[in-house]
Amino acid sequence: MLLHALTIITNELNNHLNTVDGTNHPDDEVKLGNIALFESPTGVNNNAIRDKVIVTLVNFREEKTLKNLPFSRANDATLRTEYFNPPINANLFLLFSATANDYGKALKYLSRIIRYFQFKNIFTNLNTTEIFDATLTEYDRMSEFKLIMDLYSPSFEELNHLWGTLGGKQYPSVLYMLRMVELKHDGKTEGGGVIQDIQHNFLYINPTN
């Protein structure tokens, strides 16, 4: 589901950039990848992600405010109670790094990305293009979703720590928080039967006796 969510974002971005340029690029300009692997220890750049915008998942944060959800439901067909753990709702921090050697081109990439998410920051199964990817099995796909992209502005200290973790060399970049990716396994534990009616007997005691 994480892969599906990030693939949706990169796919929508590539469609937008093709529209802006008025051309259909044979190779995607936005790719999923680990920016920390762009430059090898010997200083040689990774050609697969050179001159691209690389989308890297740099942090995963659970949305704890949605944890207090019902964990049982009555199955009307079997008349039994089903128990399950609530889904994990995650906020993903996505780093968009421009690896173009031309600094002006890198800034142009970032500007277009920011303007696109300003125009469209909510992605659902109804307003996005269907993805045909053999690596995404049915189990890893989200049938219904609502993804929200929010611009995240880290402090200089946070930014320094982030790029230090990624290898030290900083590239023109922008950070977004992707809300809410729902992670769940469709499994349940069956409990006892549902209470349908209550029967009771009253014992009447005559107070005069």
Express as a percent the part of the chain with pLDDT over 90.
44
Phi-psi group of 111: left, alpha or beta (phi > 0 → left; psi -120 to 50 → alpha; rest → beta): alpha
- Single-letter amino acid, residue 134: A
Alpha-carbon distance of 120 to 128, in angstroms, equals 11
End-to-end CA distance of the chain: 72
Q: What is the dihedral of CA 14, 20, 22, 27, to 10 degrees?
A: -20
Alpha-carbon distance of 93 to 175, in angstroms, equals 7
Domain ranges of the chain: 2-191
- Please tell me the predicted confidence (pLDDT) of residue 202: 57
The model's pTM is 0.79
For 75, the token pair is: 């199955």
**pLDDT beneath 50: ranges in the chain:** none
pLDDT tens digit sequence for 19-64? 887 766 667 899 999 999 887 655 556 777 888 999 999 999 988 8
Helix, strand, coil shares, percent, the chain, to 5: 30, 30, 45
- Please tell me the predicted confidence (pLDDT) of residue 205: 65
pLDDT tens digit sequence for 5-23? 999 999 999 999 988 877 6
- Please tell me the predicted confidence (pLDDT) of residue 183: 82
